[in-house]
């Protein structure tokens, strides 16, 4: 009886702990939701020309008030691992629901579409069900961009950084929200690590703004794209995405594309590698195990896409100015789209479903949607590190077969021995990842007229937090609500790497 009572008290304490963190998170979100009032005031998004200020003030006040009440009614303590997973899953869901309110009240969109857009923002997926971005109120566009910037390094990491919650509690939440793979920290202490990560992230955001503005973007576009580029989110202020600038004849559109490509690749790089570069270990950008794979995949994909384009042309034996110009345009387009998909940003200069990209190129794009960027980055996908470890594990398996059974041949990357249990964890995560993509593709095919290739691309884009897919935005906007809900769940599962959501829905907090 005593053990039962103690168990119930422990469960109650865990629930209160979870509520305390959720309340604090809502309070922080409430303050952040007031930031779109800046462009609302600067660009006169007043009734008759845009949206009312209450679109942001009411949900902000609601989040702040509810969050403070919950905090006052509960006590703070360090959550268990399971509790951290629950906080992570519920925290992201609550932020998405709250973040959807401005879309509902400001654009008069339905709940499912608004929730879809908010989840796509916070998870930095970039799939949109909104059309007419060029004429949309600037405060709403800024809120879309801001959700992606907050979600880039993680909602909870931002919360921990601004609330100064450190120690073992912060470590548990950082692990639950981050990539489920063993990573070293740049400095001792989780709070110091968070400060470094957010400092680097903010630095790239500011640099992005300066470069984009200098390359021809107006100030508003530069701010929004700086928020959604380093976060590898992909939301743009234009329906044509980055292709808008070339289509409108901007003088420096090519320079802008290269600048965006560099920032996307920086966002898809492990931020601990950025820290190594800053602290004098510049060669880590090329010698790190994962970075070798990262650059190798990028180069191979760009090369194959260019070959796929040119081998379909008539033989060109004379190097003319026209040929060199087309060669450069093809390379620039291939590099941009490869970087956009490998880093899961999702910007486009050309629709990946257009005739400009043939079958081989589209298959490469699909593979990039699954692989994604580096661990410790803002990118989605299964991550280059896992891809490289599985390749190394297969190589090690062959070596074990060819050598005597008594030989000890571990899986080694960058001088670190990868335990077999970690390899199994990576393999199981990849397996469930692919199962969910196939399941979502099946549901898409049932509730739409899309072909199997298009159906698979839609769910792969959602799970990989990518953005582009092999059908139109208009078709996505008019999809059956069931498909939108499945993709919403897929975006959350992909961003949180499945485990927190699995913990949330597999059992109750009491474990009964």
SS3 for 416? strand
Query: Burial of 430 by CB count in 10 Å (0-12 exposed, 13-18 middle, 19+ buried)?
Result: middle
In contact, 213 and 219? CB cutoff 8 Å: yes
| Residue pLDDT tens, the chain, 512 long | 434 434 444 567 778 888 888 898 899 999 999 999 999 999 876 655 568 889 999 999 999 999 999 988 887 777 777 788 888 889 899 999 999 999 999 999 999 999 999 999 999 999 999 999 998 999 999 999 999 999 888 877 777 666 555 555 556 666 655 655 555 655 556 777 788 888 999 999 999 999 999 998 999 999 999 999 999 999 999 999 999 998 888 888 899 999 999 999 999 999 989 999 998 899 989 988 999 999 999 999 999 998 888 776 655 556 666 767 778 888 999 999 999 999 999 999 988 888 888 888 999 999 998 899 998 888 888 899 999 999 888 988 888 888 887 777 888 887 788 888 888 888 888 899 899 999 999 999 999 999 988 999 999 999 989 988 888 888 999 999 999 999 999 999 988 888 888 888 775 444 44
Q: Which residues contact 314 (CB under 8 A, 6 or more apart)?
A: none
pTM: 0.89
Q: Which residues contact 454 (CB under 8 A, 6 or more apart)?
A: 444, 469, 470, 471
- What is the distance between the terminal CA atoms of the chain, rounded to a whole angstrom? 17
Helix ranges (DSSP H) in 154-288: 155-163, 167-177, 190-214, 219-229, 243-247, 253-267, 271-278, 284-287
**411-413 and 416-418 beta bridge pairing:** antiparallel
């Amino acid at each position: 009886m005593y053990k039962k009572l103690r168990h119930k008290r422990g469960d109650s304490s865990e629930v209160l702990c979870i509520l305390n963190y959720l309340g604090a998170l809502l309070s922080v979100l409430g303050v952040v939701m007031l930031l779109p009032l800046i462009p609302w005031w600067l660009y006169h998004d007043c009734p008759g020309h845009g949206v009312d200020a209450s679109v942001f003030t009411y949900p902000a006040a609601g989040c702040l008030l509810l969050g403070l009440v919950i905090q006052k009614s509960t006590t703070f303590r360090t959550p268990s691992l399971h509790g951290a997973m629950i906080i992570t899953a519920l925290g992201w869901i609550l932020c998405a629901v709250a973040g959807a309110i401005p879309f509902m009240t400001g654009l008069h969109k339905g709940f499912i579409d608004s929730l879809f857009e908010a989840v796509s923002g916070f998870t930095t997926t970039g799939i949109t069900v909104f059309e007419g971005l060029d004429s949309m109120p600037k405060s709403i566009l800024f809120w879309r961009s801001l959700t992606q910037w907050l979600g880039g390094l993680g909602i909870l990491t931002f919360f921990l950084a601004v609330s100064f919650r450190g120690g073992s509690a912060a470590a548990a939440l950082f692990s639950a929200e981050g990539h489920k793979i063993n990573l070293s920290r740049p400095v001792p202490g989780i709070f110091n690590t968070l400060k470094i990560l957010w400092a680097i992230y903010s630095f790239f955001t500011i640099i992005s703004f300066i470069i984009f503005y200098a390359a021809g973007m107006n100030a508003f576009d530069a701010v929004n794209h700086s928020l959604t580029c380093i976060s590898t989110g992909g939301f743009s202020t234009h329906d044509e995405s980055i292709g808008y600038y070339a289509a409108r004849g901007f003088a420096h559109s090519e320079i802008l594309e290269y600048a965006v490509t560099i920032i996307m690749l920086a966002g898809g790089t492990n931020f601990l590698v950025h820290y190594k570069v800053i602290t004098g270990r510049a060669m880590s950008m090329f010698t790190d195990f994962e970075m070798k794979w990262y650059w190798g995949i990028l180069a191979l994909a760009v090369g194959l896409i260019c070959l796929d384009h040119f081998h379909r042309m008539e033989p060109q034996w004379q190097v003319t100015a026209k040929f060199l110009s087309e060669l450069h345009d093809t390379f620039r387009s291939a590099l941009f789209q490869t970087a956009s998909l490998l880093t899961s940003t999702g910007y486009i200069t050309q629709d990946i479903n257009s005739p400009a990209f043939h079958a081989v190129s589209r298959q490469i794009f699909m593979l990039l949607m699954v692989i994604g960027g580096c661990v410790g980055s803002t990118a989605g996908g299964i991550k280059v590190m896992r891809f490289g470890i599985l390749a190394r594990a297969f190589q090690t398996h062959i070596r074990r077969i060819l050598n005597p059974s008594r030989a000890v041949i571990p899986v080694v990357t960058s001088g670190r021995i990868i335990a077999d249990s970690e390899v199994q964890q990576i393999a199981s995560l990849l397996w469930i990842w692919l199962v969910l993509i196939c399941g979502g593709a099946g549901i898409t095919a049932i509730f739409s007229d899309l072909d199997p290739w298009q159906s698979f691309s839609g769910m792969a884009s959602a799970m990989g937090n990518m953005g582009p897919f092999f059908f139109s935005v208009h078709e996505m906007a008019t999809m059956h609500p069931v498909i939108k809900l499945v993709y919403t769940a897929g975006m959350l599962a992909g961003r949180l790497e499945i485990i927190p959501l699995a913990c949330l829905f597999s059992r109750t907090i009491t474990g009964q």
